[in-house]
Each structure stands twice: as structure tokens, then as C-alpha cells.
């Protein structure tokens, strides 16, 4: 599960980098800040959905007792994804 957590952390870092560089590059051009934020948000949601599907596949392959333990962690991860 730490690999998934690492990916989420990298995604958050990527968002911060994009938000800090892209708007300054597009000032005075066709986009505005809200459009850029919407595009970043949508891209992050898509990435999070892909990772959640991968996680679900992994969980389905586990024995029943481990599934119960991971359900709590998955809820926490899902809340974090929804935050985007």
C-alpha cells in the first residue's frame, strides 16, 4: 500500500508544480486561472480513479481476512482522492 501512497504524494507534488508554473506562463494568453485549475483537478481525478481501480484489483486477490484490514485503509485513501 505504501506504493500507492507514494504515487499520491508524487501526484500532489506534480499538482503544486503545475499550479506554480503554468499560470505564469499563460498570463495574457487564452486561459484563465480557473480553467487551468479545472484541468489540473480533472487530470488528478482521472489519475486517482486509475489508481483506485488498480487497488481494487489487488484487494480482490487477497484472502478475506486481509481484505477487512485493507478496507479501512482504502476508505482513508478514497477520502484523500476525493479531496482533489
Structure confidence at residue 67 (pLDDT): 67
Q: What is the distance between the alpha carbons of residues 47 and 15, in angstroms, rounded to a whole number? A: 12
DSSP 21-53: HHHHHHTTSS--HHHHHHHHHHHHHHHHHHHHH
Question: For the chain, what is the domain count?
Answer: 1
Model pLDDT for residues 32-77, shown as the tens digit of each residue:
677 777 877 888 888 888 888 888 887 788 777 676 777 777 677 6
Instruction: Compute the C-alpha angle 78/44/9, nearest 5°.
Output: 70
Structure confidence at residue 47 (pLDDT): 83
Q: What is the extent of the structural domain holding 70? A: 2-83
Q: What's the whole-model pTM score?
A: 0.46
Model pLDDT for residues 7-32, shown as the tens digit of each residue:
777 877 877 777 676 655 555 555 56
Amino acid at each position: 500500500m505504501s506504493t500507492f501512497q507514494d504515487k499520491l504524494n508524487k501526484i500532489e507534488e506534480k499538482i503544486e508544480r503545475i499550479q506554480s508554473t503554468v499560470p505564469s506562463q499563460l498570463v495574457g494568453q487564452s486561459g484563465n486561472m480557473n480553467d487551468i485549475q479545472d484541468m489540473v483537478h480533472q487530470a488528478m481525478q482521472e489519475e486517482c480513479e486509475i489508481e483506485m481501480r488498480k487497488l481494487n484489483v489487488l484487494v480482490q486477490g487477497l484472502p478475506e481476512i486481509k481484505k477487512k484490514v485493507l478496507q479501512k485503509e482504502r476508505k482513508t485513501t478514497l477520502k484523500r482522492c476525493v479531496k482533489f
